[in-house]
Structure 1
Amino acid sequence: MKQRNAKFTIGEVVRHKVFPFRGVIFDVDPEYANTEEWWNAIPAEIRPDRDQPFYHLLAENDETEYVAYVSEQNLVHDESEQPLRNPNITRIFDTTPNGELRPKSAMTH
């Protein structure tokens, strides 16, 4: 299996290419690391490859905030500069003076 470097970093705000949600990355898996049940729930015609980075997001859409697990191929950098409202962001990240999100230094993995 080939090793790929992640395109996005922890603290980066991204949006899904297909579905209407965006979020901040709080963890990265170098390849798919979720359950078979979760994998099989993805319709085959849109199921991504397993051998790419997958990202854990504090995500939100117009209705709610939640945690999402998304393949790299389905993400793009979010250019909107709109603030995120997910309440867990302040538990995991500090905001720098220029508005970037950085993991809290006391955070353990």
Structure 2
Amino acid sequence: MAPTPAVEAPVEEQPLPNAVISRDAKYQIGQVLRHRLFDFRGVVFDVDPTYANTEEWYEAIPEEVRPDKDQPYYHLFAENERTHYVAYVSEQNLVPDESDAPIKHPDIAKVFEVSDGAYVLKPGQRN
């Protein structure tokens, strides 16, 4: 009987040095969300798989409420009762907005078409 050939164990693939680890985002572009602690809501226009802002901005968040960097972060066209702005928020601090009220941020028209209350990316905005 012939000897059984040796089977080599598969070599684990090593990530590239500059590789970004992919994270699954809970929310999607065009979805209306509200902040779970602060009184504002907005529509998602971009998602980072992990924190991608400056260290200075991150350190400015009070330590007792500073979110973990290793989670999706969302760019929102945001508004509150007084103003509109762009917000950068961790996934843990967002919840779906159930109000069905429109977001009135002036930059929405540059990125989205609004159809029956839904925010749909304009064709030129898709990656």
The normalised TM-score by structure 2 is: 0.81
Deviations 1:68-106 (A, max 9, x none): 00000000000000111101111110012x321011001
Is 1:106 matched with 2:107?
no
Greater relative contact order, per chain length (Cα 8 Å cut-off, separation 6+): 1
The normalised TM-score by structure 1 is: 0.94
Q: Which moved more, 1:32-41 or 1:99-108?
A: 99-108
CA distance in 1, matches of 2:124, 2:59: 36
CA distance in 2, matches of 1:38, 1:21: 19
Tell me, yes or no, if the aligned pair for 2:50 and 2:69 is still in contact at 8 Å. yes
Give the structure with higher Rg (CA).
2
Q: Which amino acid letter does the alignment assign opposite residue 61 of structure 2?
A: I
Counterpart of 1:67 (choices 66, 86, 93) is 86
Q: What is the number of equivalent residue pairs in this alignment? A: 108
User: What's the offset of the Cα at 1:18?
Assistant: 0.1
Unaligned 5+ runs, structure 2: 1-19
Unaligned 5+ runs, structure 1: none
Aligned-residue CA RMSD in angstroms?
Answer: 1.5
* Structure-to-structure mapping, 1:54-93, within 5 angstroms: 54-93=73-112
* Structure 1: 4+ residue segments shifted above 6 A: none
Seq. identity, % = 57
